[in-house]
Amino acid sequence: MADVKQHSSEAQEQAPIQVDDVESNVGTESVGGEPQDIQEEIVDNKGIPDLSILEGKKVNKGGYVVDDSGKPFGRVVDGDTSKLVGKKSDAQGQFWSDSGKVIGSAEVIPVDERDESSSAPFEDFPDAVVNKDGTIVSDGQVVGKLVDGDAKKLSGKKVDKDGDVIDNIGNVQAHAERWEEEDAPEPEAADLSALAGKRVNKLGNVVDGTGAIYGRLVEGDPKKLAGRMCDKNGDVRGEGGDVVGRAELVPESEREGVKQGPFADFTGATVTKDGKVEAGGTVIGRLIDGDAKKLFGKPVDDDGDVLDSNGNLLGKAERWEEEPEKEKSRHAASGFKVNREGNVVDENGDTIAKLTDGDLSRCTGKEIDDDGDVVDGKNQRIGSVTLLADIPAPEEPAPEEPEESPEEAEERKQTEQDKKLASQMATCVQQSLDKIQPILKMITEAIESAERQPKEELDEQKLVDTVKPLLEQGGNILQEANGVIRGLDPDGRIQANAKHKSASREATQEEHRLAEVLKELTGTVSQTIEGAKKKVAGMPHAKEELNPLWGLLAEPLGQILAAVGLLLSGVLGLVGNLLSGLGLGGLLDNLLGGLGIKGILDGLGLGSLTKSLTGKK
């Protein structure tokens, strides 16, 4: 406080000098946008400094008199700063208490000090030191970080208010800057739109039309707000539109509300001797776990648990009610008697029942009870009757199926055998088709590519080297298929039977499928060979090398057709029709004839089959 007063006296001694300076500078230009007479702190004729610039400005915690933006204009020179914080200065730089007493005063600070930063970065942390990890700590709190210098060497060094780390003789060794932990992001406002249109019930739950709970009241009286509606912000409004309550969402897991146990609505539920649960003399459940004799008289809680005095589980019960005894239905023949024929005749003389159990001689003339039993004079059962409507009609004997002749049995057996054979061959041919199609495509693409090249750039030998292994690979696939088909009749029995079969019967579904895949295989191979032969016709060397090789594909194809024809003669006719429909009959004829396959088929007695295949008669 002595320093503050001394500072004030020094300011007063310097005031006359300021007056002279002001008077000597009257009329000079302003500096920094403020009139120079204000900057130099005008004094009046009595030599008292003009402190009116401080009027209305407040004292901050640092003892400065600042404006609303925090810019300093003066400092407290007299009074307790802690008690002056927030107090406003008058035009004489004085501060007044609520009781009207002067409790402090301030002076104007020079203009050049007004633009200085109000505080240094570490001004509030006089004990700040460097930590080993490069952080600046004060009272255990991280308040900054080292921006240059070796943290390990500087560990323990003090940091001044400007952030400089200074050695014992005043040299700056490093510099630090303030650092504060980022404020945690404010949580996003919860989306309460699900509460819109829902109403508050008497328990304070916000429910929809079905009673499902969506929220709960957190502000407001549930009883007074019962029936009022929530808006999308969770607010409950009164009739005048004012917010009278507020609700929050409940987790989806709680929307069903508090689940009550099965016995919650019953008071005094106990276990009976026979394992039932009674409340007020009414059976409301039954024991499903535990010994009824040991648990007799024990209470059953809301959840159906039977507990001892220490809370240990002794048994478990479930809700259950005894079914009311059904009123016994009276038999339609009750009260009537059995006649000599064993019939029961009603009052109209119509037969309504027959004796179906018991001795007719004993039951004749005896009465029938409510259960449909015939009883004697001692009410002992001696027989029973059945209503005519309940007596099943005698079953008509099923018509005997005509016996199958040996020829029909043999034909049926042969048809089943042909179906199986056709299915196996179709699978084999389909697998071969799937394997050979990519190879045939590569052959066609290689020849078409060579055909597009200029003659002077065409390398026919390269074409031969490309196509030849593909032909060999395709031939192997077809040879393998031929072997599989022939292996289906290793001992020739099917072939021998095929010669005697009638070709007039309708083809089976399996044979149609076989014909379809054979058509695909035959057509694809034939078109590839014929198309390739035409394209290499203008390539002398390639033609000479490749023409003899087409038989690698055609010969096994012809053998496959022959094998199928030997086993299922009717299939080739279907294949021929399919090929003719595509206009490939003549193409196949040329192919088979050029390779000598027609002669092979004729030698096998299948000349008619080649005609079927090629469409010739």
Range of the domain at 91: 2-114
Whether residues 107 and 137 fall in one domain: no
Inside any domain, residue 600: yes
Residue with tokens 């501060």: 95
What single string gives the DSSP state of each residue in 188-248? Answer: PPP--GGGTT-EE-TTSEEE-TT--EEEEEEES-HHHHTTPBB-TTSEEE-TTS-EEEEEE
Q: What is the mean pLDDT of the chain?
A: 79
pLDDT in tens, 434-462: 999 999 999 999 999 988 999 888 898 99
Cα 352 from Cα 391, distance rounded (Å):
11
Residues 9, 3: Cα–Cα separation, whole Å: 10
Residues 464 and 567 in one domain: yes
Find the range with the poorest average confidence among 278-292, 316-330, 486-500. 486-500
Torsions phi, psi for 143 (to 5 deg) = -120, -5
Q: At what angle do helices 585-594 and 607-614 cross, to 10 degrees?
A: 140
Locus of tokens 């000479």:
544
Q: In what order do the strands lie in the sheet with 235-237?
A: 199-200, 205-207, 213-219, 243-249, 235-237
Q: What would the mean pLDDT of 129-151 be, rounded to a whole number?
A: 88
Q: Of the residues 91, 114, 137, which one is the last residue of a structural domain?
A: 114
| pLDDT given at position 493 | 57
Tell me if 72 sits within 8 A of 79, measured CB to CB.
no
Q: Does residue 10 belong to any structural domain of this protein?
A: yes
- Specify the DSSP class assigned to residue 420: H
Mean pLDDT of 121-134: 85
Same domain flag for 559 and 609:
yes
* Order of all β-strands in the sheet with 94-96: 58-59, 64-66, 72-78, 102-108, 94-96
Does any domain span residue 184? no
Residue 403 counted as domain residue: no
Number of separate domains in the chain: 6
Q: What one-character DSSP code corresponds to residue 294? A: H
Amino acid 573: pLDDT? 62
Q: Token pair of 566, please?
A: 């030997």
pLDDT band at 467 (very low <50, low <70, confident <90, very high): very high
Residue 441, both tokens: 């495509």
- Produce one character per residue of 312-340: b if its CB has 16 or more CB atoms within 10 Å, e if not: eeebebeeeeeeeeeeeeebbbbebebee
Q: Which residue has the higher pLDDT, 115 or 294?
A: 294
pLDDT class of 1 with cuts at 50, 70, 90: very low
Which of residues 490 and 281 earns the better pLDDT score?
Answer: 281
Residues with Cβ < 8 Å from 518, sequence gap 6 or more?
429, 560, 561, 564, 571, 575
- Domain annotation covers residue 260: no
Do 241 and 376 fall into the same domain?
no
pLDDT value, residue 444: 92
Q: What is the Cα–Cα distance from 595 to 610, expressed in whole angstroms?
A: 13
Q: What is the pLDDT of residue 424?
A: 87
- Examine the domain organization and report whether 491 and 570 are in the same domain: yes
Give the rounded distance of the alpha carbon of 463 from its chain centre.
55
Q: Are residues 453 and 533 in the same domain?
A: yes
Measured CA to CA, the distance from residue 334 to residue 27 in angstroms comes to 139
Question: H-helix or E-strand containing 385?
Answer: strand 381-387
Note the pLDDT tens digit of each residue in 542-586: 889 998 888 888 888 888 877 777 666 656 666 666 666 666 556
**Which amino acid would we find at residue 145?**
K
- DSSP letter, residue 242: -
- What are the tens digits of pLDDT across the range 329-363? 888 888 899 998 889 998 888 888 998 898 988 99
Does the structure show a pLDDT above 60 at 112?
yes
- Residue-level pLDDT at 185: 67
Asked if the model's pLDDT at residue 299 lies above 90, the reply is: yes
Q: Say what the pLDDT of residue 199 is.
A: 92
* Bigger pLDDT: 173 vs 609: 173
Q: Is the pLDDT of residue 513 over 70?
A: yes
The length of the chain, given as a count of residues: 617
User: Band of the pLDDT at 23, cuts 50, 70, 90?
Assistant: very low
| In a domain? residue 567 | yes
pLDDT in tens, 207-254: 988 888 889 999 999 988 999 999 989 899 988 888 999 999 888 777
Co-location of 205 and 169 in the same domain: no
Cα atoms in the 13 Å half-sphere on the side-chain side of 7: 14
Q: Identify whether 326 is part of a domain.
A: no
| 431 and 512 belong to one structural domain | yes
Query: Does residue 330 lie in a domain region?
Result: no
Comparison of pLDDT for 24 and 359, the residue scoring more = 359
Cα distance between residue 540 and residue 547, in whole Å: 10
Mean per-residue pLDDT, 120-148: 86
> pLDDT tens digit string along 523-551?
888 889 888 999 998 899 988 999 888 88
Which are the contacts of 401, defined by CB distance < 8 A and separation ≥ 6? none
pLDDT at position 331: 85
CA distance linking residue 470 with residue 442, whole number of Å: 8
Least confident of 116-130, 326-340, 498-512: 498-512
User: In this structure, are 426 and 575 located in the same domain?
Assistant: yes
Distance CA 391, CA 384 (A): 13
Closest CA to 200 of 217, 180, 184, 183: 217
Unique residue bearing structure tokens 């697998």? 431
**What is the H or E stretch that residue 35 is in?**
none
Give me the pLDDT at residue 578, please. Answer: 62
Whether the CB-CB separation of 226 and 219 falls below 8 Å is answered with no
β-bridge pairing 64-66 and 72-78: antiparallel
- Residue 93 and residue 56 in one domain: yes
138 vs 146: CA distance, rounded Å: 14
Q: Of the candidates 505, 485, 481, which has an alpha carbon nearest to the alpha carbon of residue 570?
A: 505
Averaged over 51-65, what is the pLDDT?
A: 87
Q: Is the pLDDT of residue 610 over 60?
A: no
Q: How far apart are CA 536 and CA 380, in angstroms?
A: 108
Number of helices and strands in the chain (H, E):
18, 25
Same domain, 446 and 595: yes
Give pLDDT tens digits for 393-433: 777 766 766 777 888 777 788 778 878 887 888 898 899 98
Q: Residue 160's pLDDT is what? A: 87
pLDDT digits (tens, 9 = 90+) for 385-395: 998 888 887 77
For the residues 182-195, what does the mean pLDDT come to? 75
**Residue 342: DSSP 8-state:** S
pLDDT at 21: 41
State the pLDDT at residue 230: 92
613 pLDDT tier (thresholds 50, 70, 90): very low
- Please report, rounded to a whole number, the percentage of residues in the chain having pLDDT higher than 70: 76
Q: Within this chain, do residues 378 and 498 fall inside the same structural domain, yes or no?
A: no
pLDDT digits (tens, 9 = 90+) for 479-496: 998 888 888 766 665 555
What pLDDT is stored for residue 285 in this prediction? 92
AA letter at 592: L
**51 pLDDT band (50/70/90 cuts)?**
confident
| 3-state class (DSSP) for residue 569 | helix
Residue 150: per-residue pLDDT: 87
- Higher pLDDT: 239 or 115? It is 239
